[in-house]
Structure 1
Amino acid sequence: MPPMESLSFSALLVLWLAGLLAGFVDSIAGGGGIISLPALLATGMPPHLALGTNKLQGTFGSMTAAVNYTRKGLVNLREIPSGVVFTALGALAGTVSVQLITADFLRHIILILLVGVFLYTFFTPDLGRLDRRPFITAPVFFGCAGLLLGFYDGFFGPGTGSFWTIALVMLLGLNLRKATAHTKIFNFTSNIVALGAFFAGHNVVISAGLLMGLAQMLGAFLGSRLVIRRGTGFVRIFFLVVVAATIVKLAYTTYLAR
């Protein structure tokens, strides 16, 4: 990976714009990684460096969105400490694992799951419109979902926000706007833990991550404000678009770009 000083102005501009757009998209429906990670790889970063740098820039965006949603009353921090703890544990295990082994074998499974999420959301128009009765208790949900999705986010990542959102809607009964807000708390948790592990493995390009991170903050602020103003109908449409884009991107890299 060339140092930042050797990158052209146009390359730096592309990284900044990628961070801005990724922060905007991620704060609404998750999936910002399908924008930011390819941009980092396009600079010539090896995969593990790109993954670590992506966590650095993504942490800025998820933190900004999480703070904005919490300030607007969409998240009660007293209700989710167990979810944060289990997500952190899962993310740590996943990040340590991905630095030791390849993540390629996960692609096929994740594609099937994302297609299922898309179809279920598309054919259930009232999904997440209103709060409803939880399917399981919060402690059980946060323990299972935190470990599983935290591990996945640390290990591989694409689609994590979509999985969190749909799980919060289906199993905890949250509406889509609240589910999106809670998703950012758990995204930030897994991002910051994974970032620490990547730093320990010397797999972060700090300058590139900070450049994109500043743009992420602006994009996340704008996106989260849009969700607060527009409500669940807007989130559902955006969610479907992002999940579809993630499916296309993963399908292309898995089956065609080889």
Structure 2
Amino acid sequence: MDYSTILTLCGFSFVAGFIDAIIGGGGLIQTPAMLFTLPQYPVPTLIGTTKIPSLAGSLMGAFQYSRRVAVAGRFIGPMMAIAFGASWLGSWTLSRVPNNFMKPLALVILVSVFIYTLTRKDFGQLAHHVISARRQRWRMWVMGAVIGFYDGFFGPGTGSFLVLGFIALIGFDFLKASAHAKLVNAATNLASVLFFINKGGLLYHVALPMAVANLSGAFLGARLAILKGNHFIRVFFLLVIAATILRFGWDLYTTY
């Protein structure tokens, strides 16, 4: 593999890390880039390889946010642990059951999310309803289980679903929701990385340079999100959801 190919993939990984740190959705860029650039390798090998830079970017984003945004420390740790286990279970299930039915379902959900967010100008702009600690705990833990499994079993849109859940169910604003989403996403990415490492066959000579690029993009993306605040993140959220809808819609169109 020549250096120009690795540099190209690092460029895509940088952009993916930048976008993912703000609102999630970096996989829309990084994964297709791997599949199109290295078609000679098996798809599971390429998907597993992308999880390493994704983990690096998630950890950097989580670190940047946690330094500047208050985190629900009592509940986020158990939520991350639950999401980790659920993601591993999702990856294990994927190795035995096809996930083709997930794309149409995810497309319907994302269209609904896009319309709702677009029409509700105040959505995620300010922290709203206050719920009891007990309800917050259980809602976060159920979110960790459901979205963690989804990430391991299917994946695309995970960061956006986490942000949506933290806003709609917990009452966070976009900035705080993004901070918590990166922590949970780091846990699900770690589970996927360990699962694929156990399977073997990853392209470490590609994954490690991409990890540096993704981490660098995540550093800038998180800093920009913190600097610009909720309105900026909301716009990015809508753009990423729209791109995900177009991607799923095109995939379904070409398939059927």
Give TM-score, length-normalised by structure 2.
0.94
How far the C-alpha of 1:224 sits from its partner, in A, is 0.2
Determine if the alignment matches structure 1 residue 198 to structure 2 residue 196: yes
How far the C-alpha of 1:77 sits from its partner, in A, is 3.2
In structure 2, give the amino acid aligned to 1:94: G
Structure 1 residue corresponding to 2:62, chosen from 51, 54, 66: 66
2:252 alignment partner in structure 1: 254
Is 1:70–1:76's contact at 8 Å kept on the other side of the alignment?
Answer: no
How far the C-alpha of 1:170 sits from its partner, in A, is 0.6
In structure 1, give the amino acid aligned to 2:4: S
2:150 alignment partner in structure 1: 152
Give % identity: 35
Structure 1 residue corresponding to 2:14, chosen from 11, 17, 20: 20
Whole-Å separation in 2 of the counterparts to 1:207 and 1:184: 26
How far the C-alpha of 1:147 sits from its partner, in A, is 0.7
Give TM-score, length-normalised by structure 1.
0.93
In structure 2, give the amino acid aligned to 1:119: I
How far the C-alpha of 1:203 sits from its partner, in A, is 4.8
Q: How does 1:71-220 map to 2 (within 5 A)?
A: 71-134=67-130, 137-220=135-218
Whole-Å separation in 2 of the counterparts to 1:103 and 1:203: 22
In structure 2, give the amino acid aligned to 1:36: Q
Identify unmatched segments of 5+ residues in structure 2. Answer: none
In structure 1, give the amino acid aligned to 2:241: V
Is 1:86–1:142's contact at 8 Å kept on the other side of the alignment?
Answer: no
Is 2:75–2:137's contact at 8 Å kept on the other side of the alignment?
Answer: no
How far the C-alpha of 1:74 sits from its partner, in A, is 3.7
Whole-Å separation in 2 of the counterparts to 1:150 and 1:245: 22
1:4 alignment partner in structure 2: none
Aligned residues: 252
2:46 alignment partner in structure 1: 50
Whole-Å separation in 2 of the counterparts to 1:203 and 1:172: 40
Whole-Å separation in 2 of the counterparts to 1:125 and 1:203: 46
How far the C-alpha of 1:248 sits from its partner, in A, is 0.7
Q: Secondary structure at the match of 1:245?
A: helix
Whole-Å separation in 1 of the counterparts to 2:17 and 2:102: 25
Whole-Å separation in 1 of the counterparts to 2:130 and 2:214: 33
In structure 2, give the amino acid aligned to 1:53: T
Is 2:159–2:181's contact at 8 Å kept on the other side of the alignment?
Answer: yes
Q: Secondary structure at the match of 1:207?
A: helix
How far the C-alpha of 1:230 sits from its partner, in A, is 0.3
Q: Report Cα offsets for 1:84-127 as digits up to 9, x if no partner.
A: 12111210101111222322221110111111111111111100
How far the C-alpha of 1:244 sits from its partner, in A, is 0.5
Q: Report Cα offsets for 1:149-203 as digits up to 9, x if no partner.
A: 0001111110001100011001100010000111000000000011101111115
Whole-Å separation in 2 of the counterparts to 1:38 and 1:145: 27
Q: Secondary structure at the match of 1:95?
A: helix
Q: Report Cα offsets for 1:1-47 as digits up to 9, x if no partner.
A: xxxxxx23331121000110000000001000010001111212322
Whole-Å separation in 2 of the counterparts to 1:48 and 1:254: 21
1:223 alignment partner in structure 2: 221
